[in-house]
Amino acid sequence: MIVSNFLKWVHTARVSERAYAAGLLARAFIENQFSLEDRCAAESALTLLLDDPSWKVRLAMAEALSMSRHAPLQIISALASDQPEVASLIIGRSPLITDLDLIDWVASGSSATQVLIAQRSAISMSVSAALAEVGEADACLALLANPGADIASISFRRIAERFGDSAPVREAMIGDSRLPSDCRHMLLVKVGEALSRSPLVCALMGSARAQRITRDACIKASITVIDGTRPDEHVALIEHLRLRGDLTASFLIRAVAHGKIDFFGSAMVVLTGQAEHRVRSLLSGGGDGAVAALMRGAGLGAATHGVIMRALKIWREVAKGKQVAGVQEVSWLMLRELGGPNAEGELASLLKSIHLDVLRENARDHALAIAAA
């Protein structure tokens, strides 16, 4: 009887009155305030209201139904296809919307629709993958900012590949603790490339020098990426570096000098194809001949063997608590293996550079500590 009277009245009511009444009817429906017979009638009335000439009536329905699991599915579906003001509530909130629906809307919808989807309270890995693959930059930013989004490593990589040149996206990704290490390195390289192309930087130091300096800075910063990389992610980072051509002998020497022995071991496993337990055993206690054979199998030239083995022996002693040393001491002893400060050649220049960088960093840290005391 209530619904029957409502349907007779609704045709003559003003828009504001219809909208208010539609909201009340929708809330009463989801709160189950009707008998079974009246509930069926109420659902029919709500369906009829989808044809109301005013979008404000449908907006009132959307506001009432958008977060309920008990809303009629056909009404939710129709409201989700309505004009943006109405559809946004359903797309952004409704638990009745399936992942398949969301993925379709990501592929065919506007940037605003993609952002609404990316801001939902919970985003499955499949929907995140769709946004990473075809979503606009704003949608990917919204996805990265959403703590309820389940994002796979491959989706992070796609966002980095597609929008790594965008400063806001880079900032959002670098600040995300879930970001895989190879993506972090990729973004690091993109920052360097952006700096080297900067008109101001090129004007100050010239294009060639800017590229050289930023490349060196990226290599040094790559070592810090290893610190934030879990051992189970080492292989992914190594493969990323290898595909980029960055997994060079110089990079591995720099890693060993900085004590990244676990990473070096993972690189030896990848490059030689030997079992991980054998490689770990050789690096932790193998003889010079066996370690040299391992490095030959990895493609490292004989000239590098001596300095790497020198560093490995020191880090072994440090790990056992028999010696106290850091990167400054290790890099100096590696350089002495080549003849000391007067040694010449590319390898000696590399070790001098590593040692001087560490000296500067240690001096800077010491000065800051004094200033802070």
Contact, 32 vs 40, CB < 8 A?
A: no
Residue 180: both structure tokens together: 């895989």
Q: Which of 16, 97, 95 is nearest to 57 (CA)?
A: 16
Q: What is the pLDDT of residues 13-46, one digit of tens each?
A: 888 988 898 888 888 888 887 777 778 888 888 8
Q: Which of 131, 337, 350, 183 is nearest to 254 (CA)?
A: 350
**CB count in 10 Å sphere of residue 68:** 18
Q: What is the pLDDT of residues 43-73, one digit of tens each?
A: 888 888 888 888 999 999 999 999 999 899 8
Q: 320: helix, coil or strand?
A: coil
pLDDT of residue 217: 62
Whether residue 115 is predicted with pLDDT greater than 70 in this model: the reply is yes
First to last CA, the chain: 81
Contact, 272 vs 243, CB < 8 A?
A: no
d(CA 194, CA 329): 35
Q: Which amino acid is at 183?
A: C
DSSP-assigned beta bridge partners for residue 360? none
d(CA 61, CA 54): 12
Residue 289 neighbours by CB under 8 Å, 6+ apart: none
Q: What is the pLDDT of residues 213-260, one digit of tens each?
A: 566 666 666 777 787 788 888 888 888 788 778 888 999 999 999 999
Say if pTM beats, i.e. exceeds, 0.85. Answer: no
d(CA 172, CA 174): 6
Chain-centre distance for alpha carbon 335: 38
Tell me whether residue 60 is exposed, middle or buried, using C-beta atoms within 10 angstroms of its C-beta: 0 to 12, 13 to 18, 19 or more.
buried
Chain-centre distance for alpha carbon 317: 37
d(CA 153, CA 233): 11
pLDDT of residue 198: 64
